[in-house]
Amino acid sequence: MSITTTRIFVARLAGIGVFDPLGDRVGRVHDVVVLLRVRQSPRAVGLVVEVPGKRRVFLPLSRVTAIDPGAVITSGLLNLRRFQRRAAETLVMGQLLDRVVALRADGGEVTIQDVGLEQQRNRDWLVTKLFVRHGSRSVFGRGHTSVIDVDDVTGLAPSEAQQGAAALLATMDDLKPADLADVVHDLPERRRIEVAAALPDGRLADVLEELGDDDRVAILSALAAQRAAQVLDEMQPDDAADLIAELPTDKASELLDLMEPDEAEDVRRLLTYDDDTAGGLMTTEPIVLGPETSVATALAHARRQDVTPALAAMIFVTRPPQETPTGRLLGVIHLQRMLREPPHEAIGGLLDKDIEAVTADAPIGRITRLLATYNLTALPVVDEQRRLLGAVSVDDLLDHLLPEDWREADDEVTDAAMGGTGG
C-alpha cells in the first residue's frame, strides 16, 4: 500500500472526499475510529465514511491506498452496512476532541484540540501527536497551544468530567438539523446528552424535532426544567406536543407551566386530539395572512428560515385574527402562483377557494388521500365555523406513516416496513 501522507491531523481529514480506484467519489470522511490501549499508543483502525443517503459506514484503514490533501482513495467497494461503534472503539471527532487530560511531567491540564496519526512500518496507524491548548476550561480561549507526544499525557480514557463539547460542536456548524441529529444519535449516551445540552436553544429544538422518541425524551429529561421549557418554546407546537406526550404526567405538567403561555396554550390544545387525526398531526403555526397582504410581503413570509418547505408552499388567507384559531378561512395561495404575479398585487384576489379543508377529527387515511389526489404539500384544518385551526403538512404525515424507528433503521429495513422493494 502506498500512502502519500504518513502523518495526518484528524481535523484536516474530516469532511474530505473518499474515492474508489476509478476516481468516483463514494462519500466523505465523517470521523476516525481508534482503539485506546493500556501502556500503548492508541491505534487508528478505520474511518467512518458518510455515503449518499446520509448513511455512515466503516472503512478499515487497511483498505485505504492513498491519503492526499483533499482525497482518500480506497482499494475497492465500501461495505454499506451501517456503522455501529463497538464498546472498545473511540471516535476521535465525537469523543476525543475537547477532552481535558493531564500532563505527565507536572500534572497540568491541557485540552485536546486535534489528534495526529502516523503510519508505522507495519502499516498500522497510531495516534502519536496531540495538538493541545494549555490551561483548564475555566480559561477557555486563553493560554498557548502546542503539539505534544501522546505519551506525554494521561487520561485519554473516557470521562464525563474531562470532555467538553466545544470542539465537536465547532465541526457541526454547517450541518442541517436532520444531519446533526444523526451525529448526536450516534454518540455514546453521556456524550449525546452533553453535546445536546451545549447547543443553543433554537438549534437544540431543531435537533429534537429530528430525533427518535427515546433520544429526545432522554435529552429533555436530562436538562434543567427551565432550560427544557425554553427549548420546547422554540419547537414547532406539534413536535413539542408529541414530545411532551412521551413524558411522565407530572414532568409534562411542570414543563407546560414553565413554557411561555401562548406556546403552552398551543401545545395543550394539540394534546387534546388523537394521534391518528388531523388535529393530532397538524401544526398550529402555518403562514396565515390577511387578504390585503401584497405578494411581496407574502413571499417574504415564505422565505422565513423557521418555515419548512412543505408549509412555505402554501399560504392560508383568513379574516382576522391571523393567529390560530383564526377568523374564517377565505382560501389559500400557492407559492407558484405568487411567483407569477406582480409584487404589489394583493393576495386576496389570487386565492384558490376550492381547497378542500378537513376537520380536526379527520382520520389519517382521508388526509393521505387528499394530499395525494391534489398533489398538495399541506391541508388546512378547520372547525365548524371554518376557522383555521392549523395545517397538516406532508412531512408530518410521513413522520407518522413511517415506522417509529425509521431514523435509525437501514434503508432496506425501512423499504420492507413500507412494503417497497428498495429498487
pLDDT per position as a tens digit, 232-274? 999 999 999 999 999 999 999 999 999 999 899 999 999 999 9
In this structure, the answer to whether residues 178 and 142 fall within a common structural domain is no
Coil/strand/helix, residue 70 = coil
Confidence of residue 70 (pLDDT cuts 50, 70, 90): confident
- Would 415 be classed as within a structural domain? no
In this structure, the answer to whether residues 370 and 302 fall within a common structural domain is yes
* More reliable by pLDDT, 103 or 407: 103
- Would 413 be classed as within a structural domain? no
pLDDT of residue 1: 41
Contacts 24+ apart (CB under 8 A), 129-136: 129/7, 129/9, 130/101, 131/9, 132/101, 134/108, 134/109, 134/110, 135/109, 135/110, 135/111, 136/100, 136/109, 136/111
Q: What tens digit of pLDDT does each residue of 150-167 get? A: 999 988 865 544 455 666
Domain with residue 296: its CATH number is: 3.10.580.10
In this structure, the answer to whether residues 188 and 264 fall within a common structural domain is yes
In this structure, the answer to whether residues 122 and 179 fall within a common structural domain is no
- Of 164, 199, 223, the residue at which a domain comes to its end is 164
- Residue 341 pLDDT greater than 60, yes or no: yes
In this structure, the answer to whether residues 109 and 124 fall within a common structural domain is yes
- Would 140 be classed as within a structural domain? yes
Q: What tens digit of pLDDT does each residue of 290-335 get? A: 999 999 999 999 999 888 899 999 999 999 999 999 999 999 999 9
- Would 1 be classed as within a structural domain? no
* pTM for this model (two decimals): 0.60
In this structure, the answer to whether residues 159 and 179 fall within a common structural domain is no
User: Using the 8-state DSSP alphabet, how is residue 96 labeled?
Assistant: I
Report the C-alpha gap between 69 and 224 in whole angstroms.
44
Domain with residue 56: its CATH number is: 2.30.30.240
Least-confidence region, from 52-56, 240-244, 312-316, 393-397: 52-56
Domain with residue 145: its CATH number is: 2.30.30
- Of 241, 272, 303, the residue at which a domain comes to its end is 272
- Would 281 be classed as within a structural domain? no
In this structure, the answer to whether residues 26 and 56 fall within a common structural domain is yes
On average, the pLDDT of the chain sits at 86
- Of 238, 272, 306, the residue at which a domain comes to its end is 272
Q: What tens digit of pLDDT does each residue of 342-372 get? A: 999 999 999 999 999 999 999 999 999 999 9
Confidence of residue 139 (pLDDT cuts 50, 70, 90): very low
Count Cβ atoms below 10 Å from residue 385 Cβ, excluding itself. 9
Say how many domains are in the chain.
Answer: 4
In this structure, the answer to whether residues 181 and 259 fall within a common structural domain is yes
Confidence of residue 138 (pLDDT cuts 50, 70, 90): very low
The whole domain housing 219 covers 172-272
Report the C-alpha gap between 422 and 172 in whole angstroms.
30
